[in-house]
Amino acid sequence: MGRWQEALVVDPNNATLYELLAQASMAVYEDFQAVQFARKATLLAPTWSDGFLTLARCQLNFGELTLALEALDQLNGGVETQAIQDDRRDIEVLLAKQKQVLNQRDDEAAKEVEADKLQVISCFKHLSLRAKAIEDMSTSGK
């Protein structure tokens, strides 16, 4: 990663370098940094499908499922490869599970009257959003 960052000093508008840095950041579980690099790549090359695919995968790893779907929508001018279809299906499954968890937490919160317990439920609900996405991605091998 160090060499790519050095190369950015020479060519700071190179979308490919940012995309490579995004992939490398994902590999070492620096998902927030990966999203930042991928977003920069797509800003520099707004028609580059590979950049948007990397952005979608970075956002998926970071738990931003809706943003990941939006990035997939910008790929290949609407033409979807099997890999893109698989990624889209995985994200849609995760979104459905996320919605189910949120509904369950809302049901629990509606039955609770103690403020401390409500706060715990709220925190657990929000942590569940990220944890479920990470867990599902780990088990699917992506």
Q: What is the mean pLDDT of residues 3-12?
A: 81
Q: 30 CB contacts (<8 Å, ≥6 apart)?
A: none
| pLDDT given for residue 9 in this prediction | 81
3-state secondary structure string, 62-96? HCCHHHHHHHHHCCHHHCCCHHHHHHHHHHHHHHH
Task: Name the CATH code of domain 2-140 (choices 1.25.40.10, 1.25.40.20, 3.90.400.10, 3.30.470.30).
Answer: 1.25.40.10
Read off the pLDDT band of 116 (50, 70, 90).
confident
Residue-wise pLDDT for 40-63, tens only, equals 999 999 988 889 999 999 999 998
Q: 19 CB contacts (<8 Å, ≥6 apart)?
A: 37, 38, 41, 48, 50, 51, 54
The rounded radius of gyration (Å) of the Cα atoms in the chain is 18
- Measured CA to CA, the distance from residue 113 to residue 131 in angstroms comes to 26
| pLDDT given for residue 106 in this prediction | 78
Q: What is the pTM of this model?
A: 0.72
Q: How high does pLDDT run on average in the chain?
A: 83
- Measured CA to CA, the distance from residue 72 to residue 78 in angstroms comes to 9
- Measured CA to CA, the distance from residue 23 to residue 35 in angstroms comes to 9
